[in-house]
Amino acid sequence: MTVFSRIVGTGSALPERRVDNDELCRELAARGIETSSDWIVERTGIRQRHLAAPETSSSMLAIEAARKALEMAGVAAETVDLIIVATSTPDYVFPSTACLVQKALGAPGGAAFDVQAVCSGFAYGLATADAMIRTGMAHRALVIGAEVFSRILDWNDRGTCVLFGDGAGAVLLDAGSTPGILAARLHADGRHEGILRTAGNVSGGGITGHPFLTMDGQAVFKLAVSVLDSVARETVAAAGMAVSDVDWLIPHQANVRILQATGRKLGIPPERVIVTVDQHANTSAASVPLALDLAIRDGRIKPGQHVLMEGVGGGFTWGAVLVRM
């Protein structure tokens, strides 16, 4: 019997503190940083973000999102035999955030590891879990995107600090006889590693390199629009389908102008593109599963519909996963 993977539950978590643009601008003004809500909205579509309290970690957000996904599916945590956490802001250098999640959920014994593909991390994690389920290496998997990007932001750099937020999203995948995940495609081009990075490390009891996120926004913007279009077409074609068969497009939520341009290039109307960047800002690996959970819970995404999820970000990495819900 051919085995497929299928999404049977979703969940998400956001830190309690919601910071709108006006509040952020006031805080930045107090540091002598000049920006405005109008600039942020016009250039990015972002209106607010959630920021984690100092004691909140990626694993805590991941655990909350995972518990909600398990609850939606009505399954016990101990039946999960694979946990993948996509994060660039792990709790520790090691052990992996996935192992911390596994411990908290009480699901020992299966595989647990983190993937590092920055804002493409959820697509990378979902594609990996799908491959492991289809080859019989796992039967029930949690794939989680979890980030506290606020920790790596330079609050003196107005070009980046207004763009990001914290949060987590999770999906529970089950093995079954019907798909599920129809196709996935992943890519990277390390030649562009310098345009978006946090080039620091822990070494000899201190930090070496630069501990804050840096970005060439325009270079990232141009590449993102190009690869989100190409990988969407490639993934839909791999499933033997047409772009017009896609009911919902969920691109990585970095900038509403990128979302609009991607939908426009693909010929997918704006009302079929899920947008959460206005509410969550850019939550890196968490942005796509957060958006998926929101649109499932508010009733927009329905069983049987086709959802195309896309990641793009540092590395440079990109990827897409086409799913029948």
> Judged by CB under 6 A, which stretch of 107-115, 183-191, 197-205, 253-261 contacts ligand UT7?
253-261
| Residue (248 or 316) nearer to ligand UT7, CB | 316
Residue in 159, 194, 209, 270 binding ligand UT7, rule: CB under 6 A:
159
Strands 214-215 and 196-197: antiparallel
306 included as an active-site residue: no
Give the nearest residue (CB) to ligand UT7: 217
| Residue (33 or 241) nearer to ligand UT7, CB | 33
Residues in the chain, overall count: 325
Burial of 98 (0-12, 13-18, 19+ CB in 10 A): buried
Residue in 7, 107, 254, 266 binding ligand UT7, rule: CB under 6 A:
254
Of 99, 161, 280, 282, which one is the catalytic site residue? 282
CA-to-CA distance for 84 and 323, rounded, in angstroms? Answer: 18
Mention every residue, 6+ apart, whose C-beta is less than 8 A from residue 261: 225
Mutual angle of helices 256-266 and 217-238, in 10-degree steps: 40
Q: Is 233 left (phi over 0), alpha (psi -120 to 50) or beta?
A: alpha
Q: Is 187 an interacting residue with respect to ligand UT7 (CB under 6 A)?
A: no
Q: Is 176 an interacting residue with respect to ligand UT7 (CB under 6 A)?
A: no
| Residue (173 or 281) nearer to ligand UT7, CB | 281
Q: Is 255 an interacting residue with respect to ligand UT7 (CB under 6 A)?
A: yes
Mutual angle of helices 121-134 and 287-297, in 10-degree steps: 70
282 included as an active-site residue: yes
Q: Is 158 an interacting residue with respect to ligand UT7 (CB under 6 A)?
A: yes
Q: 201: how many CB neighbours lie within 10 A of its CB?
A: 12
Three-class SS state of 321: strand
CA-to-CA distance for 43 and 111, rounded, in angstroms? Answer: 41
| Residue (172 or 224) nearer to ligand UT7, CB | 224
Taking the complex as a whole, the smallest distance from the CB of residue 251 to ligand UT7 amounts, in Å, to 10
Q: Which of residues 196-235 bind ligand UT7 (CB under 6 A)?
A: 196, 217-218, 220-221, 224
Q: What b/e sequence results for 14-29 when a residue is b if at least 16 CB atoms lie within 10 Å of its CB, and e otherwise?
A: bbeeebebeebbeebe
Q: Which of residues 298-317 bind ligand UT7 (CB under 6 A)?
A: 313
187 included as an active-site residue: no
The residues of the shown chain that bind ligand UT7, judged by CB under 6 A, are: 35, 39, 43-44, 119, 158-159, 162, 196, 217-218, 220-221, 224, 254-255, 258, 282, 284, 313
Catalytic residues: 119, 252, 282
